[in-house]
Structure 1
Amino acid sequence: MCGFFAIVFDENRDDLGEILVNAAKRLSYRGYDSVGAFAIEESGRWELRKAPGKVDEVARKLNFHELRGYKGLVQLRWATFGTPSVENAQPHADCDGQIVGAHNGNIVNSPVLRDELVASGHRVRGQNDGEILVHVVEQKFKETGDMVKAIIEAAKILRGDYAYAITKLDENRFFAVKKGSSLFVGVGDGFVCASSDQVSILEHTKRIIPMNDWEFVEFGHDYYILRDLHTGEVIHREPMISQLSPETTTKAGHPHFMIKEIHEEPQKVAELVHLMTELDAYDEAARKILDAQRTYIVGSGTSYHAALMGAYFAAKVAGVEIIPSIAAEFPERHGDTITSDDILIAVSQSGETKDVIHCVNVFSERTGREDFIGVINVLGSTLAMKAQPLLPIASDLEISVPATKTFMNQMVLLLYLAFKLAEHKGAPPRHPMPDFERIPELLTETIERSRPL
């Protein structure tokens, strides 16, 4: 998975190291194998410290907190290409120490690119695909003399799903690229930042710029320029105000986030129930399902289990067949039989799940349909911005890796959708409609009863 956070300030900050460490801690669920931090001062003095291990351990061992500067980058790695080691830890520098970058995702053709780079004289220190990315951008910059052109040219040969942040040390700006992996940009007073997840941005600003795949952004402390990754054409997009609360990034007295998020379930279900009754999107979704020849529902991990329950609810309540599929299997299992008369339901907590995004892309390519029904938690994510209609899970931020409140809200949402299907069929539901407003009370009672355990 991996995760990174990059930021540019208007002046040197003595607390830059602390800012980077705090961001890394909020992204710690994305990588456990190694951590690295880069900081550069206005004088041009810079440091890159990294090592295998978890955030607290590495930050303490390498004194991340003492880093200062106006521009910084931190990355946590979940090893795929290359074993956990100093050489494979990110961020990475180029041959001459003029470019530094870090990524999340996978560059699947990195072994081939590594051989080509070494043969052409590049000094590649490890086996990590993030380092290959930095050297490819370095090579393209040498050929074009322009970072915008270098990033566009690099995208033509870097294969895979990824996002990355990169900077030239003699420039007071960063670039961040999104191609198949999550990326958010935050705009604040005297700074702009980019991260793999909103969770590391929210303590600084709630002004978020959501990004689509095949886009990249150039940003300094007081500006940002969004561009198309194919053409370099400028894209105009205003920041949105994130509805996520910074308080959700703390444990609020609980021993860990999973327990905290279990205790948030009653409140989040209550908020969802109120939202469901206000949205016309459920009527639109029900009509699309009933008009379709076949309806598929896809998800990965816990979201797939919610999808299974959604298919069960539709059958039992409304007598409507919905075909569930693990997202990774959908293209091969159903890709050759789907038609424009079918509809897809995509279930994803993050809205950035690679396999689910791939399903949506395959569905669009094979059927010619741009619309799909999205059951998504993170508004502003890739899937949330594309879904037609969007059914928000409304669970707020979920940090714990095991899904709790998001799974509960997915179940409630899909059950409500099943009753909407029965309503639009014009036939009585096969089971009585539950009192949705009583579910939070029942959840609270269940949590209280489980305390002694």
Structure 2
Amino acid sequence: MLLNSLIKLKLHLPIPVFGLGCGVLGMSLSKVSINLGKYAATLLKALEYRGYDSTGAIFQGDKQKIKLLKDVGAPSTLVKTLGIDNQPGRIFCGQVRWATFGPVTPKNAQPHEVKCKKHLYGAHNGNITNTTELKKFLLSQGHNIVSDNDGEMLVHTIEHYFDIELVKFPVKQHRETAIRRECLQKAIIKSSDKVVGSYAAVVVDPVTEYSYAIKAGSSLYFGVGEVEDNKFTLASSDLTAVLKFTKQLVNLRQGEFIEFNKAEFQIYALKKLRIKVPKSETVTYNPGDKISRISVRSRLRAEDTELKPPYKYFLEQEIHAEVESTGKLIKLFHGGSNTGKRMIRLLKKVDLLNKMTEICNRIQATDDYAKQTKIFNEFEKSSDIEKFYTKIQTNYQAIYNELVKENFEKKYFFSSDKNIFIELLNSHFNKRKLLVAKALDSITELDDVREFNKSVENFLKMLQHTYNNSRNIYLVACGTSYHASLIAALFFNEIANVDIIPVLPGNFRGLYSHSLRPDDIIIGISQSGETKDLIDIFDHVDDQEMDIKKVVLLNNLNSTLGQEKSDVTIPIYCGPEIAVPATKSFINQITLFYYLAIKIAEKKLSDCTSKSSKKCLELEKRVKMRLNSLDFIPKLIKETLETTEEQIEFVTSKIYFEPSMHLLATKILGVAKEGALKIRETLLNHAEGGEASEFKHGPNTILGKNTVFGIKNIRAMIKHYNENIDRMYILADQKKVSSKETRKISRAISNYVFKQSYPFDLSPAAAELFEEVIKEFDFFETAFRNYPLIYITGPEEKDVNLTISQINTHKIRGADTFVIAEENDDLLENARTNPHDEGYYGWGYITLPKTGDTLLTVFSATIVLQLLALRMSEKKMEKLDRLRISDHGVHPDVPKNVSKSITVD
């Protein structure tokens, strides 16, 4: 039974999403169930990684019978101790909290039930930044506020405007469902104007038994389904929680809210929205307008978003998955997987390709799993498949042997619709079913290849036209994607001799927005396809009404950028990425740019007028070499993962507790900047990536004595201070200074160290002792430490020599040296040599697999920096936890103040 499998779920990652705060849930069943509490327990535990300060649930059954259960503590504990898992009911509203507004107390736990003017209950996740102002306003309007929690202010604010709308009608109509629904919809819209912040919320009217889920800046997912013959609707901050119960999802955009009851739902505009409908005009919705949208079956499976052994963190799992993600992308470059191409050839040979394509189209044409299964099973039992299967056994032993390999469905399915076909197997992995599913997957993979090649070809035509007309190619992106654009510029220059301009959206507005010309190209990069800063730039370009082509590289094709804003969309195919710090998406972005640079070079080669010219011969040689190197990338990543662990661990132990560091790259700037971002995200340290030779032009002032103090600095200061205080006590005892005077000297030393305040209340003997102690006491000297510099370079001799020069320039001024590079004796010797005759000097060398190629070093160095950030984050988090430093926010997967939505496709 589904219920039993839900109860047995092993949920991972009991760590909060700092800064994002909390997770909210709302579930409505078509009929009362004694098992609603068990469903609620499963959902709450699924959200534990988003918050575990407090847990709460409200259950509503027949006749407005409501039970509120909440307290301080994690859901894994409280679902039992509060009896949440034993509650019956038809409606559930729940929340897990990571404290932001209001301390961790039962009163500040959510959900909140309010009855000041009208009866509502609800909860939220996110941050309401004008909470203080809202509280004053609500108190002035007669509301009874019992907590400091921003969630309560939101629910009260909706209640306030609900009452204002409802009193416009006669009292006898106040319990009429249609009127209450209309009034609550208006109240939600008015509240969104009053409330400042980013949030998602669930609010329930217990009279009508309608629930409302609001998406106003934070993640929110919605699904419909059936559990134990009971239809349901489900809203959640977390996609994984929804996928545990259903794959039928309803896409919600920011600025929308959804009204739901039992198995029914209706979406409304929360604010004025402009939505571009594919192959149609942009549609404008005013606040309160209905928005028609149907549920679609997600291609994701719950397993795709789960943490699997032996990994402890999603970041770790996703770094190791980069071997597979780049491998699958490169298979696409080569026209698909070998098994897929073999299957297509075989289907053609037995004259089954057209029939199988028809079956594939029928399955893809419906989101109804029962219909898909019926089509699949009927075809699997057909005489066509009987003959096909027999032929495979007798004449194509190699393909048949692959069918019996362990985890065949995980290793040999490659299409964008692979999960549809894997699910149709329904855990019955017999060889015939596997054969049919693999054939269907191969047909879809072929479609993926055709679509991809079409997009690439269109991109190449656009770029060639722009290049021939001496126009500009802009790469616009934010964060990690911007760093990928820096590497793209390197690849395009080195491989294709084409210059492109990488730029942040904010800089684009200031530097280029008024100098655009017809035939320019704007290339946007985004994992989610919903990056608002990038969407704003694309809107600005549209407003120019010039012939400027727009291209996007995305993971989520069903997004605003993918569906509404671009002329050409190219997928990066990295799969879902759960950890907030991007890894898989980055490596696939730069792998795709590497390929596109090669294709541009190929295009230029085909246009060579004199094939025997030196320039064309050099280009031909370069293209051939780069095409051959494509297949090295997954192998290079794998070898980097396997060979650098010990050296990464050594460097981690040296620098994970340092408060600041610089990463200096020679030629491969994007690698240094992305490595620094990963360190900032996961460690919350200051880390800055830059071009190595630029460090001496100002940033090097941080070397030597500075006031960037971390815990190691403080520990050294305190140790030195205590040693001098101990010495003072010994001298005081020798000089017969009283204990009272000795204590006064101790306090005087403390004041003198930070304020240079001389004590005038000491006795002559005590003053003499004070003078003696401070005369040789340099409190701050021990606080100063060498500053860590991490150098990243490719193997080219010029780059290595420049790096050596930088190392020697900086280490004599107080820098520790850590190098990420391929094996080089001169580089190693200069890194490890102490510039001083004595004293501490820290150094480390992480040896990259040998390629002799700077552009391939981009991939191996990136992997090392991702692993380094991961290990440093783990060690620092463990250390801070041991020191009992609360709310430190260090975590590999969910660092504070940043968040990311999982792609829904």
- Which structure exhibits the higher relative contact order, with contacts defined as CA atoms closer than 8 Å and separated by 6 or more residues? 1
State the partner residue of 1:68.
Answer: 88
State the partner residue of 1:322.
Answer: 501
Which 10-residue stretch deviates more, 262-271 or 366-375? 366-375
Alignment partner of 1:48 out of 68, 89, 109: 68
State the partner residue of 2:532.
Answer: 357
Alignment partner of 1:16 out of 36, 46, 52: 36
Alignment partner of 1:7 out of 10, 13, 27: 27
| Paired letter, 2:294 | E
State the partner residue of 1:309.
Answer: 487
Change (3 A) 1:366 1:348: closer
State the partner residue of 2:150.
Answer: 129
Which 10-residue stretch deviates more, 117-126 or 99-108? 99-108
State the partner residue of 1:105.
Answer: 126
| Paired letter, 2:299 | Q
Alignment partner of 1:236 out of 292, 295, 304: 292
Which 10-residue stretch deviates more, 379-388 or 170-179? 379-388
State the partner residue of 2:105.
Answer: 85
Task: Please report the TM-score for the alignment, with normalisation by the length of structure 2.
Answer: 0.44
- Mapping for residues 21-420 of structure 1, pairs under 5 Å: 21-96=41-116, 98-145=119-166, 146-189=183-226, 190-229=231-270, 230-258=286-314, 259-275=316-332, 278=449, 279=452, 280-285=454-459, 291=466, 293=472, 295-300=474-479, 302-318=480-496, 319-325=498-504, 330-331=505-506, 333-337=507-511, 338-339=513-514, 341=517, 345-351=523-529, 356-361=531-536, 364-365=539-540, 368=543, 373-378=551-556, 380=558, 385-388=563-566, 389-420=568-599
- For 2:213 and 2:44, the matched residues in 1 are separated by 17
Deviation of 1:119 after TM superposition, in Å, equals 1.0
Which 10-residue stretch deviates more, 81-90 or 177-186? 81-90
Q: Which structure shows the higher helix fraction?
A: 2
Deviation of 1:209 after TM superposition, in Å, equals 1.4
CA contact (8 A) 1:251 1:260 kept: yes
- For 2:32 and 2:295, the matched residues in 1 are separated by 25
Provide the alpha-carbon RMSD of the alignment: 3.4
- For 1:303 and 1:32, the matched residues in 2 are separated by 32
Change (3 A) 1:390 1:88: farther
- For 1:311 and 1:32, the matched residues in 2 are separated by 44
CA contact (8 A) 2:577 2:585 kept: yes
Deviation of 1:142 after TM superposition, in Å, equals 0.7
Deviation of 1:60 after TM superposition, in Å, equals 4.5
Tell me, what secondary structure is at the counterpart of 2:207?
coil
CA contact (8 A) 2:476 2:534 kept: no
Task: Please report the TM-score for the alignment, with normalisation by the length of structure 1.
Answer: 0.83
Which 10-residue stretch deviates more, 166-175 or 16-25? 16-25
- For 2:26 and 2:559, the matched residues in 1 are separated by 19
Tell me, what secondary structure is at the counterpart of 1:238?
coil
CA contact (8 A) 1:350 1:376 kept: yes
- For 2:250 and 2:550, the matched residues in 1 are separated by 23
Structure 1 alignment gaps of length 5 or more: none
| Paired letter, 2:261 | G
| Paired letter, 2:555 | N
- For 1:38 and 1:413, the matched residues in 2 are separated by 48
CA contact (8 A) 2:482 2:502 kept: no
Deviation of 1:39 after TM superposition, in Å, equals 2.2
- For 1:59 and 1:344, the matched residues in 2 are separated by 51
Which 10-residue stretch deviates more, 165-174 or 311-320? 311-320
- For 1:130 and 1:362, the matched residues in 2 are separated by 34
- For 2:111 and 2:551, the matched residues in 1 are separated by 37
Deviation of 1:369 after TM superposition, in Å, equals 6.9
- For 1:271 and 1:39, the matched residues in 2 are separated by 46
State the partner residue of 2:809.
Answer: none
Deviation of 1:200 after TM superposition, in Å, equals 1.4
Summarize deviations over 1:185-241 as a string: whole Å, max 9, x none: 212131111222322111211111112222221112221112222332222222222
The alignment-based identity, stated in percent, is 33
Tell me, what secondary structure is at the counterpart of 1:156?
helix
Which 10-residue stretch deviates more, 94-103 or 204-213? 94-103
CA contact (8 A) 1:102 1:165 kept: yes
Change (3 A) 1:343 1:207: farther
CA contact (8 A) 2:48 2:76 kept: no
Tell me, what secondary structure is at the counterpart of 2:94?
strand
- For 1:250 and 1:236, the matched residues in 2 are separated by 32
Summarize deviations over 1:374-402 as a string: whole Å, max 9, x none: 44435555555545244434333333445
Which 10-residue stretch deviates more, 356-365 or 175-184? 356-365
Change (3 A) 1:206 1:335: same
- For 2:73 and 2:524, the matched residues in 1 are separated by 35
Deviation of 1:120 after TM superposition, in Å, equals 0.8
- For 2:247 and 2:575, the matched residues in 1 are separated by 14
Structure 2 alignment gaps of length 5 or more: 1-19, 167-182, 271-285, 336-448, 609-618, 650-905
- For 2:478 and 2:539, the matched residues in 1 are separated by 17
CA contact (8 A) 1:101 1:166 kept: yes
- For 1:288 and 1:154, the matched residues in 2 are separated by 47
Between the two proteins, the alignment pairs up a number of residues equal to: 444
Deviation of 1:52 after TM superposition, in Å, equals 4.0
Change (3 A) 1:203 1:435: farther
- For 1:47 and 1:66, the matched residues in 2 are separated by 12
